[in-house]
Amino acid sequence: MQNVGRVFMEMTRYENLSISDQQQGVTPPPLEKPYPGKGDQIILPNPASIQTPRVDLREAIEIRSSIRSYARNPLTMSELAYLLWQTQGIKEIVDPYYTKRTVPSAGGRHSFEMYLLINRVEGVAPGLYRYLAFSHRLLPIDISSGIADRVMSACLGQPFVRSSAVTFIWSCVIYRMSWRYSERAYRLVHLDAGHVCQNLYLAGEQIGCGTCAIGAFDDEEMARIIGADGIEEFVIYLATVGKKKNTGGM
């Protein structure tokens, strides 16, 4: 087991990869995970209509830091919509091969699905939701009273998950990436996770929010929480977001 990381790096070199399904002419998988057509969905504000303060990019990069203590102020729905757009917003669809989004992804494959533990967002009941990037909507997954405690527990008891306004949970549908890149996909999705989370940090700075990335979590329990099998779809990264103390809204 002590050499598993080294073996992974060796076996995902290009000379060791199997022929990808794309190379074999297999039909690509859907660019979004299917979801039930029925049920309440929350329509989010159009990104083009959202006004945000102007922030110098250099300043945002230099003041960015991981923040684990938040004010009790809720996010507005527009602020949440802005963060969602900046981290997974779709600018162009080239179905069925790729999407162009506000964050880069290997081959434009964008294998992530985004779930949200919402604790304090105006107009949205607390609970677990899924962001539907193609329609820019929220789909309720679990709005039971104990869901926040379950997510916090799966994050090894880190209390700022419970006290955040929103915790972002990114899962990976691995075949969406491996269809094109074979075993190399397992390297690439971890790079993509960094792209997404850094956008969240910087967009959060623009609206007076602090962010803290989370890599310490129980993989199996987190998969159960979002309804994934932990193999074909698994949680890859999380991050908490909340208003900075002594900071107003947009």
Segment 166-212, tens digit of pLDDT: 999 999 999 999 999 999 999 999 999 999 999 999 999 999 999 99
For the chain, give every domain's residue range: 58-243
Nearest CA to 109 out of 31, 42, 183 is that of 31
Mean pLDDT computed over 26-33:
97
Give me the residues paired with residue 210 across strands.
242
Mean pLDDT computed over 2-29:
96
pLDDT confidence of 246, banded at 50, 70, 90? confident
Q: Would you say the pTM of this structure is higher than 0.85?
A: yes
Quick: pLDDT tens for 75-134: 999 999 999 999 999 999 999 999 999 999 999 999 999 999 999 999 999 999 999 999
Cα dihedral across residues 160, 89, 192, 64: positive or negative: negative
How many Å apart are CA 108 and CA 176, to the nearest integer? 10
Which helix (H) or strand (E) segment holds residue 43: the answer is strand 42-43
Phi, psi angles (nearest 5°) of residue 224: -60, -40
Cα distance between the two ends of the chain: 49
Q: How high is the pLDDT of residue 39?
A: 73
Residue 249 above 50 pLDDT?
no
Question: Domain 58-243 - what CATH class?
Answer: alpha beta
Q: How high is the pLDDT of residue 37?
A: 76
Residue 248 above 80 pLDDT?
no
- Letter for the amino acid at 185? A
How many Å apart are CA 245 and CA 106, to the nearest integer? 37
State the helix-helix crossing angle for 147-154 and 219-226, rounded to 10 degrees: 150
How many Å apart are CA 232 and CA 77, to the nearest integer? 31
> In percent, how much of the chain has pLDDT > 70?
98
Asked if residues 201 and 193 have their Cβ atoms less than 8 Å apart, the reply is no
DSSP E strands, 26-79:
42-43
